Chain A
Amino acid sequence: MIQTNTLTWSDTWYMAPELALVVATLVLAALDLALPRRTNRDWIGWGALAGLVAAGVFVGWHIHDLRSAAGAGEQTYHSLLGGSYRIDDFGNLLKLIFLGASALLVLASLGTVKREDVPIKGEFYYLFLPAVVGAMVMASSADLITLFLGMELLGITSYILVGVRKRTGVSGEAAFKYVVTGGTASAFILYGMSFLYGLTGSTNLGAIRGALGGAAADSRALIYAAFFLLIVGFALKLALAPFHAWAPDVYQGAPTPVTSFLAVVAKGAVFAMAYRLFLNTAYFQTDDSRLRGDVFLALAVLAAAAMIVGIAGALKQQSAKRLLALSGVANAGVLLVPLALDVTDLHASLFSEFLYYFIAYVFMNVGAFAVLTVILRDAGSDKLSAFAGLYHRAPWTAVAMTALLCSLAGLPITGGFFGKLFILFASVQTKAYWLAAILLATTVVSYYVYFSFIRQMYMRTGDTDGKVAVPVPAGIVIWLSAAATVALGLAPKPVLDWVGGVYSLAVDFVAR
């Protein structure tokens, strides 16, 4: 009677991206131990980069396989390990973004990390890999247990990454704050999950949706408790207002590449988990439409609060890292909007909207943090005034930063503009006018925030006139991000069409 679901050889091919990263981590860890202390650890960074690229190739291969399966009329997902792990387009697209973003930020950190600052340079590079494995598991799980394990793998490795500058007090302080908020958020999410399990007797997302309808009649209060505990947990993890107080501190204390990792990959992975969890479980069959309405209204209110509080907090910020952290709070609000809108009401394109803005968000943040790495290396301070006269000291970097800032602000011919525009259209289409109004208002206010950078770069003179040295890998990342940001703005349609063609709501979200 007992059904066993062991990992078979044919399954290992579907898990090839994750396995490639695990193997790369183990090999790099062993090499780091075996090598003499004097050896330059930079090439461990190149090894980590190679592992990320290899995993990306496997993911691309899977996307291609699923496309040809769709062309032949076969099923477009694979379910592994007793339905707890899914290889589908939703997971694959997000995995590709996580891997690409991590590769870019590892590349940007090569040559900028100093041994005096980070004494454990080898660990610094290869710990990115298990963190990305965690993010990938979060993107493609269909079971509460695997979702939780992915979240904790990502969480625990990023606690260490935040604290790697162990000779400075601020890094340890940031890591401790991150451990406490991360642990509390995990406890809230787990507590919510335990109620979902208790009401349905299963940890599989598809089974939960099937059984929740029956439980809704006599345990309405417990369903409310489950969803609201989950929402609080996710809001803490995503730093949505009013649960965002930790974000500026942690972002400021962490090494800049890690800050960029937290802002992009860690945040994206939690979004992937939230989308998967809510779209699967909250759309159960019920006559009680108020319950679902309340859950999504709570998400919409959190999104609105995050946009307002994030931008308002960024207005007076003098530290560039804290400013970008608060802009990340506002952007998390924007990214939450497609989920908060009602899918049933003419709004089936939520994932394309989310993914398009997320791609734009990844490039503008990775680029902006790479510029910040260069500035920090040159000036030793992340104050806005460190950007003074950048146009005269490193003109090309200043031009690239301008493009990235325009995207962050949501000005035309950048990815950020179209991303916000599509989300705005969606909220008007589903008659969430108040959300659209808040999105517009906060965007206008954000112009002021991002122009404070531009003012410093072009209209102020710095303390020195010397050229800013830009390391080649960081320069490549800055220019790639700026070019991708502008390209997304010039030609948004190919990306949207591609995402729309690859992904389908019914197949990818409804776990079976």
Chain B
Amino acid sequence: MSMLGSYLTLAAVLFCVGLFGVLTKRNAIIVLLSIELMLNAVNLNLVAFSKYGAQPSLAGQIFSLFSMTVAAAEAAVGIAVLIALYRRKATVNVDEYDELGR
């Protein structure tokens, strides 16, 4: 039980680092990486709960497998979208993605 707190803290730190990255980073690749960081924080949480939680069960590990697979698919589409956008704009600086709303 004592281990659970450490894992949850680490996951919370990872999630916050990821969120900070999404909100502040200028490089589009780093933004996508930061989203992955947030999703990995969730996986850590799920696996920690499935081992040390109040009611340990396998469901958490199954859930984390699903979330890893889906995160990979999401990253693939995210990168594909970014490549299509890079071909038009020749930059990965998100500050220059400002054509909309003008």
Chain A residues proximal to chain B, CB less than 8 Å:
144-145, 148-149, 152, 155-156, 159-160, 163, 166, 168-170, 172-177, 179-180, 183-184, 186-187, 190-191, 193-195, 197-203, 211, 215, 219, 248-249, 252-253, 322
Contact = CB atoms under 8 A, between A and B. Distances in A.
Contacts of B85: 169, 172-173, 175-176
A408 to B, nearest CB: 22
Contact of A179 (B56, B81, B101): B81
Interface string B59-82: 110110011001001100110011
Given A156-B73, A159-B78, A176-B81, A197 B60 contact: yes
Given A159-B81, A184-B38, A198 B73 contact: no
Taking each of B18, B97, B100, which has the highest tally of chain A beta carbons within 10 Å of its own beta carbon?
Answer: B100
Nearest to A162: B81
B60 A198 contact: yes
Contact of A173 (B41, B62, B97): B97
Given A148-B67, A179-B78, 19 more contacts: A145-B63, A148-B70, A152-B70, A155-B74, A156-B74, A159-B74, A169-B89, A177-B100, A179-B74, A184-B35, A187-B18, A194-B45, A198-B46, A198-B49, A199-B54, A200-B54, A201-B53, A201-B56, A211-B55
A249 B39 contact: no
A197 B46 contact: yes
6 contacts: A152-B70, A156-B77, A180-B22, A197-B63, A198-B48, A249-B101
B84 A191 contact: no
A144 B42 CA distance: 14
B84 A160 contact: no
B97 A187 contact: no
A184 B59 contact: no
B interface bracket (residues with beta carbon within 8 Å of A): 35 or more
Question: Interface centre among B32, B41, B60, B70, by most A CB within 10 Å?
Answer: B70
B17 interface: no
Interface in B9-55: 15, 18-19, 22, 28, 31-32, 35, 38-39, 41-42, 45-46, 48-49, 53-55
Where chain A touches its partner, the secondary structure class is helix
A392 B2 CA distance: 75
A194 B43 CA distance: 8
A160 B82 CA distance: 11
B45 A195 contact: yes
